[in-house]
Amino acid sequence: MTDTATSAGLAPATLSDALRVAGAPGFDRWQDQIRRTGGCSDPIHLTGGTVTRDRATGEVLHHYSTDTEPGGRLRIACGNRRASRCPACAWTYAGDTFHLIRAGLTGDDTKGVTPAVRDHPRVFATLTAPSFGPVHNRPGNRPCRCGTRHTDTDPALGTPLDPGTYDYAGAVLWNNHASQLWQRFTIYLRREIAARAGLTQKAAREQCRVSFGKVAEYQKRGAVHFHAVIRFDGPEGPDTPPPHWATTALLDAAIRAAAARVQVTIPAVDEHGLPERDLRWGQQIDVQPIGAFGNGEDLTEQAVASYVAKYATKAAETTGTVDHRIGSHEAIALLDIPDHPARLIAACLDLHPAYPERRLRDWAHMLGFRGHFSTKSRTYSTTLGALRQTRADYRATQQREALGLPNPDDTPEEATTLTLTHWTYAGHGHTPGESWLAATIHRDITANRETARQQRTVINDHEGEW
């Protein structure tokens, strides 16, 4: 480990702490705990234990206490979805999001979604913010308006050509109201569908439903936009086929018309010299039909699910801001934030007194956005909670089998065992050395997963040849 740590450029204090952890009694058990979290960057520490008894005789069948654990604590994953906070837990969250979105596209009986949804009309729609001023971009094969042909990684991309005239107030207010714009879009979408079908809204609801799963993403300019899978279902949801008039073409036209109708008005605040604003979606609205996986379409179910999952773990930090709250202009100056996101953060702080109910100061680090990054309609597919519960039940079953405990019965009244638990929060996080070791464990797990994925791909590619 010493050679690896030295080559990684660790600070002497971190290296010393890592050596202390590796040489301490119970290091193997500590490693086992961290592996079970996937290499979590900020694990939750618990103290306590469990006792499993035979309900009839009172005999203790199993006893566990953190007294025997390293440091007297059990470490569990933090569960943070942000990749900037915990890559390990973000990977799990992205995986759950992938399965949630994919189940709504391909169907999955184990997740309560019939495979018949694959035949339902569905599209992948992108709704963007309007312009708040010209920015550096890559317009096809032409140079940017500044005369430069920017590379993909040029930090100037998305930044204003003239920061002095850029509408920073409009940009953060738009982000702040983006969730309301989406909510109104879903209302108008149902109205537009009914109108194009020649039905009343009540009649349209009785014949079909509209389901969606969406994710928010930040553009380089710091404006939020939404990617959404939108699907037609029958009157009872995904288990029933949509009516004959519910076509992909109708859905496409309804989405574009609904987006054009949406408007959220912010009243003027005269005492702060702020005019009334009408917030709308931008002109760039993209709607693409989703093809079945493996049928040669450009936009497949697999690609859509992967794309949505990718952005479910990212937030405003992709624009250069930070992933924690910033309460003052002085704090901005102390952080290494590029000029453009720093101006957006400053705009949030400046506008907060005029719109205190919008909590712009609390969400300044998010450039004003205060909504959920991934949401879905009730009947789109399974839920993240259900996926987490399935994983927990699987692990519990493995643990019971390893301990030789009986399986729990269907109802508490018929259960043959009784488990009593007592847990107390005892802190979180790692020491510097533990943090480096956990990151190493996470990298090893990630590398092993990638190797396994590549092996599965090779097997699938050559399956017909063998």
SS3 261: helix
124-137: per-residue pLDDT in tens? 999 999 999 999 99
Token pair of 209, please? Answer: 């439903």
| SS3 state of residue 269 | strand
Q: What is the C-alpha separation between 394 and 416, in angstroms, rounded?
A: 20
Q: Name the packing angle between helices 384-403 and 87-106 (round to 10°).
A: 110
Tell me the pTM: 0.84
Residue 298's pLDDT band (boundaries 50, 70, 90)? low
Residue 359, C-beta contacts closer than 8 angstroms, at least 6 positions apart: 352, 370
Asked if residue 114 lies in contact with residue 238, where contact means CB atoms within 8 angstroms, the answer is yes
- pLDDT tops 80 at residue 102: yes
Q: Tokens 């982000």 — which residue?
A: 175
Half-sphere exposure of 66 toward its Cβ, with a 13 Å CA cutoff?
Answer: 19
Task: Give the three-class secondary structure for 341.
Answer: helix
The proportion of the chain whose per-residue pLDDT surpasses 90, expressed as a percent, equals: 61
Give 323: exposed, middle or buried? Use CB within 10 Å, 0-12, 13-18, 19+: middle
Q: Per-residue pLDDT for 109 more than 60?
A: yes
Q: Of 142-156, 215-229, 285-299, where does mean pLDDT reach its minimum?
A: 285-299
Mean pLDDT of the chain: 89
* Number of Cβ atoms within 10 Å of the Cβ of 200: 11
101 in Cβ contact with 213 (< 8 Å): yes
- Taking 50 as the threshold, does the pLDDT of residue 7 lie above it? no
pLDDT of 442 > 70? The answer is yes
Contact 445, 36 (CB under 8 A): no
What string of DSSP letters covers 165-225? TS-HHHHHHHHHTHHHHHHHHHHHHHHHHHHHHT--HHHHHHH-EEEEEEEEEE-TTS-EE
Residue that is written with structure tokens 């915990």 in the block: 86
Q: pLDDT digit string (tens) for 315-341? A: 878 888 888 899 899 999 899 899 999
Q: What is the rounded distance in angstroms from the CA atom of residue 285 to the CA atom of residue 125?
A: 7
Strand 224-233 to 44-54 pairing = unpaired
What is the phi/psi pair of residue 348, to 5°? -60, -45
Share of the chain above pLDDT 70, in %: 92
Sequence spans of domains, the chain = 2-83+388-462, 87-132+167-376
Dihedral over Cα of 87, 92, 95, 96: its sign: negative
Q: How many CB atoms lie within 10 A of CB 267?
A: 10
In terms of pLDDT, which residue wins out, 157 or 299? 157
Q: What is the pLDDT of residues 393-437, one digit of tens each?
A: 888 888 888 878 877 654 555 668 888 899 999 999 999 999 999
Work out the pLDDT band at 54, boundaries 50, 70, 90: confident
Res 176 pLDDT > 60: yes
Cβ partners under 8 Å of residue 251, min gap 6? 121, 122, 123, 193, 230, 232, 287
Comparison of pLDDT for 372 and 289, the residue scoring more: 289
The single residue listed with the structure tokens 């694990």 is 43
Query: Would you call 148 helix, strand, or coil by DSSP?
Result: coil
For the chain, count helices (H), then strands (E). Answer: 13, 11
pLDDT level of residue 465 (50, 70, 90 thresholds): very low
pLDDT at 187 over 80: yes
> Residue 261, Cβ neighbours under 10 Å: how many?
15
Tokens of 107: 């169907």
DSSP state of 161: S
User: What distance separates the 2 farthest-apart alpha carbons in the chain?
Assistant: 83
pLDDT band at 296, cuts 50/70/90? low
Q: What is the pLDDT of residues 203-247, one digit of tens each?
A: 999 999 999 999 999 999 999 999 999 999 999 989 999 999 999
Torsion angle (degrees, nearest 10) of CA 18, 440, 390, 415: -30
| Crossing angle of helices 178-197 and 168-176, rounded to 10° | 60
Q: How would DSSP label each residue in 70-101?
A: GGG-EEE------TTT-HHHHHHHHHHHHHHH
Bridge partners, residue 53, by sequence: 60, 418
Angle between helices 339-351 and 168-176 (to 10 degrees): 70
Confirm if 378 and 35 have CB atoms less than 8 A apart.
no
- How would you label 159-187 residue by residue, b for 16+ Cβ within 10 Å and e otherwise? bbeeeeebbbbbbbbbbbbbbebbebbbe
Given a contact cutoff of 8 angstroms between Cβ atoms, the answer to whether 434 and 28 are in contact is no
Confidence of residue 248 (pLDDT cuts 50, 70, 90): very high
Which H or E run includes 348? helix 339-351
pLDDT mean over 144-149: 91
